[in-house]
Structure 1
Amino acid sequence: MNVIDKLRSRIKQKGLGRTFKTLWERYVFFHWELLWMERDLVTPVAPHKLRPYSGLRMVSITPENAKAFGKHFGDRVETMAELAAEGHTGQMYLDANDHAVAFIWGSKRDYHDSHYYGCWFPVKPGEFFEFGGEMTRAYFGTSLSVDAQINIWNAMAAQGCDKVVDVCETHNIPALKLHIRMGYHEQGRVTHVYGLFGRWRFFRETQYTGSRLDPLRKPGRPVVADAARA
């Protein structure tokens, strides 16, 4: 399929507006806002009504077993092996055929995300930075999203941590709602990631007061703006 055919197919699937937006962000300019959140590791998670799941086993990720990502996350095999080799704590969930269907990571030290955002995420003593949580579509809406986080919390608590911190893209509404369900609290700061012409990236941090999650709890409430928002 040539470039024109691919473009026509994308427009047919997503519409002209969404296709143009995707191309603009990929090749011209994008601006992501990463909302910082935190949570202690001892407060129980509130009851939920997520669907149960079965038939999975949790395994620590190593450079040697990263090949398990081949079927569902084929483009991540090398990344998973690199993260494990760097000493980060990773957990994956394998199905009956030993294919990874979900994973999550934690880092006790400052984390440089060279694989996606391209910036540094500082980690204070006693904290760990949680990142990379993902699962296949078959497990969307199941309690695996809760269990995976609780299991990584327990693993990092055993390493001396008492707080988890992470960031979430403000346009990722399902992920923000998951943070609310899991009992995270906003830190009142945002890391901004800017991309220009698909080549250069720039970063800055702003502060805000109030809550940017309230509109997801009670529809109709205004979103609090950053103090120096672009």
Structure 2
Amino acid sequence: MSTLDKLRDRIRQKGLGRTFGTLWKRYVFFHWELLWMERDLVSPVPPHKLRPYPPVRKVDITPENAIAFAKHFGNRVETMAELAAEGHTGHMYLDDEGHAVAFIWGSTRDYHDRHYYGCWFPVKEGEFFEFGGEMTRAFFGTRLSVDVQVALWEAMAAQGCNKVVDTCETHNIPALKLHIRMGYHEQGRVTHVYGLFGRWRFYRQSTYSGSRLDPLRKPGRPVVAAASAEA
């Protein structure tokens, strides 16, 4: 199929407006806002009604076993091996055939995300930066989204950490709701990522007051008391 045919097919499926918007962001300009959030590692996760999931096996990611990502995350095999070689803590979850169906990472030092955002994420003493959490579609809406995080928190607490920090794109509503479900709290700061002509990227930081998550909370859902911030 030619490039023109692919474009026509996309327009038929998504409409001219959405297609133009996607192309604009990919080849001309985009602006992402990454909200910073945090959580202590000991407060219980708020109750949830997520469904159970089939048996999986948690394995520490190493450069040698990263090939397990080939089936469902084929374009990530090299990235997973690199992250493991750099000494970050990674967990993957394998199905009964040995294929990775979910993964998550944690870093106790400043993390340079050269694979996606292209910027640095600073990490303070006593905390760790959680990143890269993802799972296959078959596990969406299951308890695995909770269990992978709790298991990583426990592993990082054993390394001396007492707080998890991470960022979430403001346009990723499901991920923002997951942070609410897990009891995260906003730090009131944002990392802005700008892309120009598909080649250059620029970054800046800003702060805000109040909450940008409150509009996403379900009516009647209590707000968990905020964890104390480090000086």
TM class by smaller structure: over 0.9
Q: 2:148 is matched with which residue?
A: 148
| SS, match of residue 48 in structure 1 | coil
Rounded to whole Å, the distance in 2 between the matches of 1:14 and 1:68 is 34
Deviations 1:71-124 (A, max 9, x none): 100010000000000000000000011000000000000000000000000000
Q: 1:61 is matched with which residue?
A: 61
Q: 1:28 is matched with which residue?
A: 28
Instruction: Give structure 2 stretches of 5+ with no counterpart.
Output: 220-231
- The amino acid of 2:80's aligned partner reads M
- 1:218 to partner: Cα distance: 5.5
- 1:6 to partner: Cα distance: 1.0
Rounded to whole Å, the distance in 2 between the matches of 1:218 and 1:59 is 34
Q: 1:223 is matched with which residue?
A: none
| 1:87-126 to 2 correspondences below 5 Å | 87-126=87-126
- 1:54 to partner: Cα distance: 2.1
The question of 1:169 aligning with 2:138 is answered no
- TM-score normalised according to structure 2 size: 0.93
Rounded to whole Å, the distance in 1 between the matches of 2:147 and 2:209 is 31
- The amino acid of 2:115's aligned partner reads H
Rounded to whole Å, the distance in 1 between the matches of 2:118 and 2:85 is 19
Rounded to whole Å, the distance in 1 between the matches of 2:192 and 2:211 is 17
Q: 1:76 is matched with which residue?
A: 76
Q: 1:183 is matched with which residue?
A: 183
The question of 1:14 aligning with 2:18 is answered no
Rounded to whole Å, the distance in 1 between the matches of 2:105 and 2:218 is 31
Rounded to whole Å, the distance in 2 between the matches of 1:5 and 1:147 is 43
| SS, match of residue 35 in structure 1 | strand
Rounded to whole Å, the distance in 2 between the matches of 1:55 and 1:210 is 41
Q: 2:50 is matched with which residue?
A: 50
| SS, match of residue 20 in structure 2 | helix
| SS, match of residue 211 in structure 2 | coil
Rounded to whole Å, the distance in 2 between the matches of 1:98 and 1:15 is 40
- 1:17 to partner: Cα distance: 1.4
| SS, match of residue 153 in structure 1 | helix
| SS, match of residue 142 in structure 2 | coil
Rounded to whole Å, the distance in 1 between the matches of 2:158 and 2:66 is 23
Aligned residue pairs, count: 219
- 1:212 to partner: Cα distance: 0.3
| SS, match of residue 63 in structure 1 | coil
- 1:217 to partner: Cα distance: 1.2
Rounded to whole Å, the distance in 2 between the matches of 1:15 and 1:59 is 43
Rounded to whole Å, the distance in 1 between the matches of 2:150 and 2:209 is 29
What value does the CA root-mean-square deviation take over the aligned residues?
0.8
| Identical-residue share of aligned pairs (%) | 83
Rounded to whole Å, the distance in 2 between the matches of 1:185 and 1:98 is 35
After the TM superposition, list the runs of 4 or more consecutive aligned residues in structure 1 that deviate by more than 2 angstroms.
none
Q: 2:3 is matched with which residue?
A: 3
Rounded to whole Å, the distance in 2 between the matches of 1:151 and 1:104 is 10
Rounded to whole Å, the distance in 2 between the matches of 1:160 and 1:13 is 50
Q: 2:215 is matched with which residue?
A: 215
Rounded to whole Å, the distance in 1 between the matches of 2:174 and 2:218 is 15
Q: 1:40 is matched with which residue?
A: 40
Instruction: Give structure 1 stretches of 5+ with no counterpart.
Output: 220-230
Rounded to whole Å, the distance in 2 between the matches of 1:209 and 1:100 is 40
